[in-house]
Amino acid sequence: MPTPLPIPGFAPVYEDYARCVHCGLCLNACPTYRLWNLEADSPRGRIHQMFHVFQNEAATPERLHTPLSDSFVEHIDKCLDCRACETACPSGVEYWKLVEHARAHIARHYPRSWFGRAARDYFFRDFLSAPHHIEDAARLLRLYQRSGLQTIARSIGILKLLGLAERERLLPRIDEEFFFTSLGQTFPAVGPRRARVAFFIGCIANVTFSELNQATVRVLTANGCEVVVPREQVCCGALSAHAGYRDAARDLARENLAALPLDDFDAIITNAAGCGCTLKEYDHLFSTNEPEHAQARAFAAKTRDVTEFLAALGLSAKLNPLRHRVTYQDSCHLLHGQQIREAPRALLRAIPNLEFVELPYTEICCGSAGIYNVTQTETALELLAEKMRHIQSTGAQTVVTANPGCLLQLRAGVALHHTHQNVLHVVELLDRALASS
Ligand code: SF4
Ligand code: SF4
């Protein structure tokens, strides 16, 4: 077998692993450790295992084809990549760099089943990079959801028989109209222009969260922003990078670097914390000697989560009172990935009459974590059940969050646990306050 090329982009060195001093202060922050109490499923335990693989890789590069153990792959697969351990760590361990490198290593060297590999290759390489694939799949799913097939499949128990019942319940509802039709459009600011921004609209969100994207445009324009939706933008590459498909993530990053001319905009805005995190870390996909590295750094410096941007700009549009009790679930990639805690809360507090209650354990992942709820459904549902118990304890009628993946997971939680809350993005609640009288 030929020796594969090294994993492109950032590669951890000894010091990145050695920063972990094994103090254990991250253990209670880790959702999988909290569930199972197993060292091997804790941040410290995973770092230890990854370090051994790194040592093996560094000492005997010719042994790159040595099979990785099933147990190593299982513990790394079970990690949510939620980064709560980074917030908790006093030693500054950048866990995401280690786990994404380990996953890139696994993607190259671990022999998954033929079907597992083929499905992953298709999804992370081909599906996410082609909007027409996403639209075609969404049309099929919409047909399933609207034609009565879904009701029949659920009632005759075929999904249970195929072992798909739980996964099927986590499927997003497909929109009537896709936001892809807005590519290339410019939405003028209402009143004097305060900023000109590029709206990064994501990939799957365009067929499942069109209303959120429309609300984002309305809130930004109402607050004096001219919003441009650059035509040639593609998926940010977050899902591919998290799964170890770094080549695919780099290709997508290159397309986005070319699609968004930085000098034309004051900021690149995203309403998806997961995408924003990856866009802000684009430079790590490239080595420092690659020309894209500097370009990616400039791109990252202009990227803002919509809550971060609006809180810093200041709301100029009048907000009407909303009489709701609201709680907020921190999105991991906003809180732990981007260290943004205050901005969404400040925006919620700006809505008159809104009663804001903090959610216990808001910093713990809801179980969404990219495609974790598909690949590790049982664990994702356990985490969701605990999250719904905490949400119920607040008495809130509305749960707000800042990432489409979390919205999907929490909406599934409301349906599964019959808890009846509205689940909205922060900008959707702002949009309602703009519209209400
Ligand atoms: S808190 Fe940081 S240094 Fe301590 S065990 Fe966890 S990762 Fe290692
Ligand atoms: S990223 Fe999340 S699940 Fe993974 S080790 Fe850190 S805290 Fe645990």
Q: Is 364 in the pocket of ligand 2 (CB under 6 A)?
A: no
**What is the distance in A from the centroid of ligand 1 to the CA of 41?**
13
Beta carbons within 8 Å of 188's beta carbon, 6+ residues apart? 221, 226
Residue nearest to atom 1 of ligand 1 (CA): 89
- Ligand 1 closest atom vs CA 95: 7
How far apart, in whole angstroms, are the C-alpha atoms of residue 257 and residue 279? 10
Residue nearest to atom 8 of ligand 1 (CA): 20
Residue with tokens 């034609």: 147
Q: Taking the CA atoms of the chain, what radius of gyration do you get in angstroms?
A: 22
From the list 266, 252, 345, the residue with the least C-alpha distance to 304 is 266
Ligand nearest to the CA of 41: 2
pLDDT on residue 6: 77
**What is the distance in A from the centroid of ligand 1 to the CA of 19?**
8
**What is the distance in A from the centroid of ligand 1 to the CA of 23?**
5
pLDDT on residue 321: 95
Distances (CA, A) of 171 to 128, 140, 208, 230: 17, 13, 10, 28
| Pocket-forming residues, ligand 1, beta carbon under 6 Å | 20-26, 43-44, 47, 85, 88-89, 91, 93
Residue nearest to atom 2 of ligand 1 (CA): 89
**What is the distance in A from the centroid of ligand 2 to the CA of 245?**
19
**Phi, psi torsion values for 267, nearest 5 degrees:** -160, 155
**What is the distance in A from the centroid of ligand 1 to the CA of 17?**
10
pLDDT on residue 60: 62
- pTM of the predicted structure, to 2 decimals: 0.92
- Ligand 1 closest atom vs CA 22: 5
Residue nearest to atom 6 of ligand 1 (CA): 26
pLDDT on residue 154: 74
pLDDT on residue 11: 87
Q: Is there a contact between 326 and 396 (Cβ–Cβ < 8 Å)?
A: yes
Ligand nearest to the CA of 333: 2
pLDDT on residue 64: 52
The rounded average pLDDT for each run of 10 residues, N- to C-terminus, in the chain (437 residues) is 69 94 96 97 96 78 66 95 97 96 91 87 85 82 78 72 70 81 93 96 85 96 97 93 93 95 94 96 94 95 98 96 95 97 97 96 92 87 96 97 94 92 97 82
**What is the distance in A from the centroid of ligand 1 to the CA of 40?**
14
How far apart, in whole angstroms, are the C-alpha atoms of residue 319 and residue 374? 38
Written as six digits, the tokens of 106 are 């696994």
- Ligand 1 closest atom vs CA 88: 1
How far apart, in whole angstroms, are the C-alpha atoms of residue 56 and residue 63? 8
Residue nearest to atom 8 of ligand 2 (CA): 30
**What is the distance in A from the centroid of ligand 2 to the CA of 176?**
36
Distances (CA, A) of 310 to 317, 320, 349: 11, 17, 13
Written as six digits, the tokens of 215 are 């609300």
pLDDT on residue 63: 52
Ligand 1: which of 17, 93, 97 to mutate, judged by most atoms within 8 Å of the beta carbon?
93
pLDDT on residue 134: 84
Residue nearest to atom 4 of ligand 2 (CA): 79
Can you name the residues that pair with 270 across neighbouring β-strands? 305
pLDDT on residue 1: 46
pLDDT on residue 437: 53
